[in-house]
Amino acid sequence: MTLNTRIEAAIDGALGRATAGSVPPKLAAALYHAVKPGGARIRPTISLSVALACGDDRPALADAAASAIELIHCASLVHDDMPCFDDAAIRRGKPSVHAKYGEALALLAGDSLIVLGFDVLGVAALENPARAGRLVGEMARFTGMPHGICAGQGWESEATIDLATYHRAKTGALFTAATRMGALAAGEDPEPWTELGARIGEAFQVADDLLDALQPEAVTGKPAGQDARLARPSAVTELGVAGAIKRLEDILSGAIASIPACPGEAMLAEMVRATAARLTPAHTATAAE
Q: Which of residues 56-95 bind its own copies (CB under 8 A)?
A: 75, 79, 82-85
- In contact, 166 and 153? CB cutoff 8 Å: no
Q: How far apart are CA 62 and CA 125, in angstroms?
A: 12
Nearer of residues 133 and 281 to its own copies, judged by Cβ: 133
Q: Which of 66, 121, 184, 268 binds its own copies (CB under 8 A)?
A: 121
Q: How far apart are CA 194 and CA 176, in angstroms?
A: 6
Q: How far apart are CA 34 and CA 42, in angstroms?
A: 16
231 binds its own copies (CB under 8 A): no
* Minimal distance, residue 288 CB to its own copies, in Å: 33
Nearer of residues 68 and 244 to its own copies, judged by Cβ: 68
Phi/psi of residue 214, each to 5°? -110, -30
Q: Which of 213, 165, 175, 182 is nearest to 197 (CA)?
A: 175
32 binds its own copies (CB under 8 A): no
34 binds its own copies (CB under 8 A): no
* Minimal distance, residue 50 CB to its own copies, in Å: 20
Q: Which of 140, 239, 256, 285 binds its own copies (CB under 8 A)?
A: 140
Q: How far apart are CA 251 and CA 258, in angstroms?
A: 10
* Minimal distance, residue 80 CB to its own copies, in Å: 10
Cis peptide, bond prior to residue 216, ω within 30 of zero = no
Q: Which of 114, 183, 196, 206 binds its own copies (CB under 8 A)?
A: 114
